[in-house]
Every structure is written in structure tokens, then in C-alpha cells.
Chain A
Amino acid sequence: MTSIAEQQEDRAVTEAGAWLARLQRDDVGEDDGLAFEAWLAAAPANRSAYVQSLGVWHEYAAGAEEVTAELARQADRPRPLSRRWVTGIGGLAIAAGLAIAILPGVLSQTASQSFVTGKGQHQRVRLEDGSVIDLNAETRLKVSFVRSERKVVMAEGEAIFDVAPDKARPFTVAAAGRTVRVVGTQFDVRSRQGELTVTVARGKVEVRPGVATGHDYLLTPGQRLAVGATGVEDLRVVDPQEAFGWRIGRLVYRNQALSVVVADLNRQFVEQTEIGDPELGAIPITGVIVLDDPRAVMARLSLMLPIRSVPSDRGLLLLKK
């Protein structure tokens, strides 16, 4: 059964495709423009369908070379390998529309370089030693390499570090008054509002108090150390892929308060969500959130929770159902 709304949406998507194709004509001109203008004005659904299709169209423009290479690979091997672990993480369809920028790592011996991401931005940084840092949204960090040490200072944010082994030059990350020290490994460091978590996927990671008081920890794969703003330390076993999910556009939560989830979402999207009723902030969330767009995320959450979302001037407002 299809509703009238669905039929209208389907028609808008069909017409949006026709418009994008028509505007590719070699002799596109003012008549096309005026007709396009009239079509946009004819129904609000037209504009949103067009913007949606345009996003996909631009993704193909940005990734033309990579997609062509991938198509050649898929032709050789019809079943893509990494599907398996994607299914492992929750079996949901992926819709991570997040584009990332890759910067070439051109750090000289003693140079230091700063990296900053804003709302909704992810960035991959390749360092000269072969290490890779993936920055989550709203993250500020500085990388400096000297002869005896590879050093990162994270002022705020979250990043996954994939560290190239080099026994002579340990890799350290300073965040929230602690120092994380490794030789060669993969781990996630999150430092938000004075709270620090370190999750290890591979290798061994040492966490030392630094200027803060506390204990020394040697973390092994699958362990997560969380240090609260007040210094309370909590060591537990987790699935590292959960902490690493943001890199592929998904957030994984176990019993996390809605207020924390919304704060995370507000880093990933420019459109901001506010919790209108303080009682709602404490609702525990367990599940995988696919980061496509804030409205779709809230629509899915409201299916599971006693909440509803309404548009506000900043974005969305969450209210009790």
C-alpha cells in the first residue's frame, strides 16, 4: 500500500533525476533555468528531492576515480570482502554520507602541525612515519615529531590513531592531563569536557597520569579506560569496533544517556538538536546510530523511545510523546 505522500515523494525523486539530467545538456540556457525555477516553486518536496539527488551526484563527482577503480575490483570479485565485518557490527544498512578529506603527511623532522575539525567534519591525516590519525568532528590536536619522539597533544575531541611501529621513537598522545604512550598499535582517544576514554584495538597502550593524579595503566586489545572529569577511573572490556564506528559513520551506544547521544550528534551535524524536556535527557540508549542526517536519525530514535522531534529555528527540538 502506498500513501499519497509516498506517491508525491516518488514523483519528486523522479523529476529531480530528470532535472539533474536535463541541466547537463550542452546547450543549457535561460529557458531551462526558468522552467527549473518554476518546478522548484511547485512543491516543497521537489526542492528536497533535488537537494538529495544532488548530494549523490556530487559524491560521484568527488569519487569518480575511486568508484571506477572499485567497479573494476568488484568485477573481478563479485562479493566484496569487508561486507562481513560491516554485518558483524550490527547488520544495518550503511548510510554514512560523511566525506572526509585526506591530507598528505608532509611533516619534516621537527615541524609541528595543527589540525582542527568543525561540526560534521572528519579528517584523515597521514604522517611521515606511516601513522594515520582519523579526526572525529570538533577536534583540535597538534602533531610534533622530534628525533626521539612522535608527539600529539589533543586539546579537545576524539581521534583514532593507527600508529606505525617504531621502537626508537615512541608515539605519545597527551589529553585531559594524561599521557597515552604506545609503540605500534591502533587505538581511539576521546577527550571531551575533561572526560577521557582510551580504547585499544591492537597492540599495547600505556596511560599515565601526567599532570593529573591517578594510576598507570597498560591497556591491551579490547580494553577501554574511562576517566571522568572528577578523576574516577573505570577499566572495562569492550568491542573496539564500537568505539571505532564513528569513522565509518555510525555511533554505537550501550546504556548511554540521551543527552550524551544528542551532544555527539550535534558534533556530527550542522543542524542542531535540542532536548526540550530535561527528563528526556536521562533516557538510556542502546544501539547503533547510522549518521545520515539528523532528521532521519531522530525519526528512527522516536520509533524506539517516548520522544518526538519538531522543527525549531536551530534545527530540531525533542519533546515527550
Chain B
Amino acid sequence: MASSEPSGRRGEDSPLLRAFLEKRENLLLFLAARTRSMAAAEDLVQDLYLKLATLDAGAEVRSPTALLYRMASNLLIDQVRSEQRGSRRNAQWRLDTRAILGGEDVHEEPAADEQILARERVRLLAEATQALPPQMGRAFRLHKLEGLSQAQTAEAMGISRKMVEAHIAAAIKQLAQRLRS
């Protein structure tokens, strides 16, 4: 962490920080593929920046862009782990609350910071999902709605991971085309 030069100066000189600033938008889009929102992806980009600042400025980096994506990939894998922990904790919390309230339906009240969609839009999303071909729809639901990894989805459906990825890719195309305007 200790540096003899002010960090602003170092930033100008470090090829890694320069590459980061140049690639920031692309890194954001890369990370956002795995986060639940753009805001969460922004947080990860910020984490990435902080990690860069602690790297040894003197270290020689052959390909800054490759290093940036390696670090970004590691962040993704870490955050998926912590998100899984988080959602399990949430589910547990909901279960407890429900038990305390004697089975009353409390899950209609989301946490204050939780973004939820307008009911009208939810119906459109559901209709678009319904319109997917059966196998494609099943892969999409297991992976995106029930939160299974691609490997878990492949296992559940008895097909290859490659096939799952192809189903998801085609599903995204169809959904994006149907839902945009």
C-alpha cells in the first residue's frame, strides 16, 4: 500500500490503471452478466479498482487487459459464492418470520432496498417465458428463475452443459426481441 508518490501521479503512470480507465465500461458490461443489476455491477467495478490500487505499482504487467479480466472473473466467482450465501440467509429469515407470524403471508412486503417490477411487466415476462419452446423454457427457468448453475441445470435435465448454454443463449435472444418494444 505504501507508496512514495501520491496516488494520483501513480495512476497516470501505471499502465494497469490506464487500461482500467479505458476498459471500465466494458468491464462493467462483463461483470453485469452475472450480477442482479447494473448497480451491483458498479459495486464490483469499484471493488476491482480498489484491488488495483493495492497492487504493486512497480510490477511489470505484460498484458494489462488480460490481467483486468482475470481479476474481474475472480470477483465474479467470489460474488456468486457470497450471493448464494446471502440468498440462503434471506430464505431462512423469511421462513423464521413466517413462523413467528403464525403462517400469515408476509413475503408480499419486500425489503426496502429490493427492486421489484411493476405487476404488468411481471406478467409480460411470464408470458414471454411461457412462449419459449419446452426444452429451452425449462433450461431458462431452472437456470435463471430457480438459480441453478449451468452445470446443475445440465444435470437436472440430463443434457450436456454445452446444450444448456445453447438453450440459454437462444432463450435470451427470443426474450430480448419479444420484450423490447
Give the interface of A toward B (CB within 8 A): 13-14, 16-26, 28-30, 32-34, 36-37, 40, 47, 49-54, 56-64, 66-68, 70-71, 74, 80, 82, 86, 93-104, 122, 126, 247-249, 290, 292-293, 296
CB within 8 A of A29: which of B34, B65, B70, B124?
Answer: B70
Which chain A residues lie closer than 8 Å to B35 at the CB level? 58, 61
Asked whether A21 lies within 8 Å of B120 as measured between CB atoms, the reply is no
Asked whether A53 lies within 8 Å of B37 as measured between CB atoms, the reply is no
Asked whether A248 lies within 8 Å of B172 as measured between CB atoms, the reply is no
CB within 8 A of A67: which of B30, B125, B181?
Answer: B125
Question: Quick one: given A54-B29, A71-B126, A98-B118, are A22 and B181 in contact (CB under 8 Å)?
Answer: no
Residue of B nearest to A296 (CB): B181
CB within 8 A of A20: which of B33, B65, B118, B125?
Answer: B33
Residue of A nearest to B143 (CB): A24
How many residue pairs link A and B with beta carbons under 8 A? The number is: 204
Asked whether B121 lies within 8 Å of A59 as measured between CB atoms, the reply is yes
Asked whether B145 lies within 8 Å of A68 as measured between CB atoms, the reply is yes
Which chain A residues lie closer than 8 Å to B122 at the CB level? 63, 66-67, 70
Interface residue SS majority, chain B: helix
Asked whether B66 lies within 8 Å of A34 as measured between CB atoms, the reply is yes
Asked whether A33 lies within 8 Å of B72 as measured between CB atoms, the reply is yes
Residue of A nearest to B124 (CB): A94
Asked whether B33 lies within 8 Å of A30 as measured between CB atoms, the reply is no
Give the interface of B toward A (CB within 8 A): 23, 26, 29-30, 32-38, 65-70, 72-73, 76-77, 109-110, 112, 114-127, 129-130, 141, 143-147, 149-151, 165-166, 168-173, 175-177, 179-181
Which chain A residues lie closer than 8 Å to B175 at the CB level? 56, 60
Question: In the complex, A64 Cα to B143 Cα: how many Å?
Answer: 11
Question: In the complex, A250 Cα to B39 Cα: how many Å?
Answer: 26
Asked whether B179 lies within 8 Å of A82 as measured between CB atoms, the reply is no
Question: Quick one: given A37-B65, A71-B129, A71-B130, are A24 and B34 in contact (CB under 8 Å)?
Answer: yes
Asked whether B165 lies within 8 Å of A22 as measured between CB atoms, the reply is yes
Asked whether B181 lies within 8 Å of A95 as measured between CB atoms, the reply is yes
Asked whether A63 lies within 8 Å of B116 as measured between CB atoms, the reply is yes
